[in-house]
A and B are shown apart, each in its own frame.
Chain A
Amino acid sequence: MTWTEYLVPLGQGAWVTIQLTFWSTIFGALLSFAAGIGKLSRNPLIKALSIGYIEIFRGTSLLVQLFWLYFALPLLGQAIGIDLRLPPVAAGVLALSLNIGAYGAEVVRGAIQSVSHDQYEAATALNFSDRQALWRVALPQAIPEMMPSFGNLAVQNLKDTALVSLISLQDLAFKAEQIRNFTQDSTTIFTIVLAMYFGMALVLTAMMKVLERSVGRWRTARS
């Protein structure tokens, strides 16, 4: 097997990695907003749930979360008589989303809190409700502030997907290990894999930059 022949299976693995990254970043972003806004809620229950979620998922290992969802949850379900078995893809996307969402929530919370108090006063003076003030005044100003951190988290998430190979998902890392077992050609394989992750990270970073620019267009308008 020559190194060019590695590219087909590795390419298949990379495609799985891309899909995992895509979905877990999308769901992670949704969770970030839900928990980040929830942490600022005046409702004590919503606030407590958000803080609980954020602290648990930031305070435990992603690998353990992944194993827990894939191996422990079904047994727990069995004990109480519910089928909680998750397909590997679902467990993988869920663990990655929950993890990235917990970190993202702190980014969302911080960015919302960095919006000037004057802006909320203007919103009150114009008789906006709290919800309108959040969605129409605070968030549009906070989102451009979040983008650099979200860019970092997305790249972090891409690299974290390698862990899902441990629950038998055939991502890039899994394929690499598979070919390596077969050929023992560690140097070539891992060099290619390194380059592939790096290439994907570059593309992801560029995409986040485009997104950052488009949500912050008003900041750079020229006269």
Chain B
Amino acid sequence: MTEPIIKFDNVVKRFGSLTVLDHLDFEVNPGEMVTIIGPSGSGKSTVLRILMTLEPIQEGVVYVGGEPLWHEKKGDDFVPASEKHLRKMREQLGMVFQQFNLFPHMTVLRNLTEAPRQVLGLSKKDALERAEELLEMVGLTDQAKKYPHQLSGGQQQRVGIARALAMRPKIMLFDEPTSALDPELVGEVLKVIRSLADQHELTMLLVTHEMHFARQVSDRVCFFDKGRIEEQGPPEELFTNPKKPRTREFLKQVLDPDA
């Protein structure tokens, strides 16, 4: 049995008095493509934000690559992680945001080269080579000199994906990557995500409302409700034969909203 690359062990996350993750246990294997679905407020984005170290946890332990993410071992005890530990752990993770979050003052090319150069210490030549390769992969070679605001939403999100990949993470987190896009631009972004999933090199975690896409590309789909995993399984099983009434109800609402 392979060791999971991501493991949530009894994790509790609260925003004030609101419990967002309620003693969550959750594992992802290396190379796995897991899609998280569920109603808004069910804690699905929070799972990604905790992994990217954007949100701390209150209880439990999160492991990435076998090491605690938000803690450090001190003797036999776990103590809260230092910034140094967090920076080391972040090397394994990349994130794509709903609102793209590109750097508006940098050209597309610079968005892709800045972190590899500043954080990884790549030479200008190596960073450019890497960026050009990625721009080709997402089909934006001809947009390299433009600023983000000169691109369409779909193009911006493809830059967002390329920018995260430029850091060569082992795990890619996609936080509703197509939710802010006009419907006709969703396809071009999904196409890029699909090609990454097909390579099976990255571990991918996707939060989305695109049910048909989730069904096609995922190895596993997790239905989140009220801060827990209500049901999970291979996409065919979960979508055609959901066991829990709450899952059935949710899928009925999102797949067939007019009925």
Contacts and interface: CB of A to CB of B under 8 A. Distances in A.
A80 interface: no
Nearest to B115: A126
Chain B CB within 10 Å — which of A141, A218, A219 has the most?
A218
Chain B CB within 10 Å — which of A125, A219, A223 has the most?
A125
B54 A124 contact: yes
A137 interface: yes
A124 B53 contact: yes
A128 B111 CA distance: 13
A129 B118 CA distance: 10
B91 A122 contact: no
Interface residues of B, number: 29
B16 to A, nearest CB: 18
A218 B164 contact: no
B63 to A, nearest CB: 19
A121 B118 CA distance: 17
Interface string B96-133: 01010111111000000011001100000000000000
A140 B119 contact: no
B91 A127 contact: yes
A118 B103 CA distance: 10
Chain A CB within 10 Å — which of B52, B101, B105, B114 has the most?
B105
B150 A122 contact: no
B118 A122 contact: no
B97 A122 contact: yes
Interface string A124-152: 11111110100011001100000000000
B209 interface: no
Interface in A184-223: 218-219, 221-223
Interface in B156-194: 163-164, 167
A118 B160 CA distance: 13
Nearest to A135: B118
B246 interface: no
Interface of B: 52-54, 83, 87, 90-91, 93-95, 97, 99, 101-106, 114-115, 118-119, 146-147, 149-150, 163-164, 167
Interface of A: 118-119, 121-122, 124-130, 132, 136-137, 140-141, 218-219, 221-223
Given A119-B101, A141-B104, 17 more contacts: A119-B103, A121-B101, A124-B52, A124-B54, A124-B90, A126-B114, A126-B115, A127-B90, A129-B119, A130-B83, A132-B118, A132-B119, A218-B104, A218-B147, A219-B104, A221-B147, A222-B150
